[in-house]
Structure 1
Amino acid sequence: MTILQILDTKDFMSKLLVKDTFDDFLLVKADICTSVSTSIDGRINKDFFDDTEIIPEEYPKWSNLKPLCFEIIKGKVLPLSVKIILKLPKESLEDFLSKAGIPERKGEIQGLFINIHFDKNNLKVVTGTSLKTFSIDKTIEFEWDKWVKNFMFNEKIENEEA
C-alpha cells in the first residue's frame, strides 16, 4: 500500500471527472458528501439485465458513472468529502502482470484498487491489493504500487508519497 498526496487538487479532479484519464477503471464504490450524502455501490445488479446481455465485469466502467458523480460534485462549494474506489479491469490485469514479469499469478488476485480520498482540501490516492488467499510474498503489492506511481507520472498528476 502506498499513499500519494495529490499536490494539484483542481487538476486531479479535472482528470478524474472531466477528462478520460481514469475511464478504463471500474467503479467499485463512491461516497460523496455535499449538502446531502450520496453513496453509489458499483456492483452491477445482474437481475436487471436479460439473459442475452453479456456482463463482462461485476462493476461498471468509471466512464459510465462519471457524469453522475460529476453532477453531484459540481457547484460553487467544495464537497465536504469524496471517496471513490476504482478497480483495474480484468482485461488490463493480464497486461499488468505480464509487464511486471509475474503472469502466472493472475489466479491469486481478487482485485487491484485505486482509492481516492478528498477531505477538507486534502486529496490522497491510496493503492490497494486484494488477494484470494494470504501470502507473505508482497511482489504483487509492490508491482501495483509501482504501476500506480508510473500511471500518475505518465498522466502528469503531481504527487508525493505521504
Structure 2
Amino acid sequence: METYNRDRHLHGVEEYEQQVHSTTGRDFTIGLAIGLAVGTIGGLFLAPKSGDALRDDISDTTNRFTQTFNSKDDGGADTESLKAKAEQKTEELRSKVEDKKDQAVAKKSELEEKQRIKNMDEEEIQAQKRAIQDDVADEGAQDPRTVDMSKYAEEDKDNK
C-alpha cells in the first residue's frame, strides 16, 4: 500500500509552477526574436523603393495634406458649408430638447393635478363618512352603530 506524502506532493507542484512560468517567458522571447528577424528580412527584400525614395513620398503626401487642410481653413467653401450644417444641426437639437422639456413639464403638471384631485376626493370621502356617522349616531344609544327607528317612524306619519 502506498502512503501519501504531503511535502513531496507540494514540492512537485511548486516545481511545476516554476517550470510553467519560466517556459512561458522563454517561449515568448524566442517567438518575438524570430518574428522581428523575419519581418525585417521580409521588409528589406520586398520593399519596392529605396529608403530615400520612400521617405520623400511620405513627406510629399504629408505636405499635400497639410496644404489642403490649411487652404480649407483660410475660407474655403467646404469650411463654410460645414459650419452652416453644424449650426443647423445645433438648432434642430435645441428645438427637440425644448419640445421634450415642454412635454416633461406638461406631464409633471398633469400628474400633480391628478394627485391633487385624488387627495381632494379622499378628503371628501372621509368628510362624508364622518357626516354619515354623525347623522346615524343616536345620543341615547350605547352603540353608535345602532339606530333608533322609532324616531324616523314618527316623521313618516307627520309627512303623510
User: Same-fold call, TM > 0.5?
Assistant: no
Structure whose CA Rg is larger: 2
Higher strand residue share = 1
Higher helix residue share = 2
Please state which band the TM-score falls in when normalised by the shorter chain: under 0.3
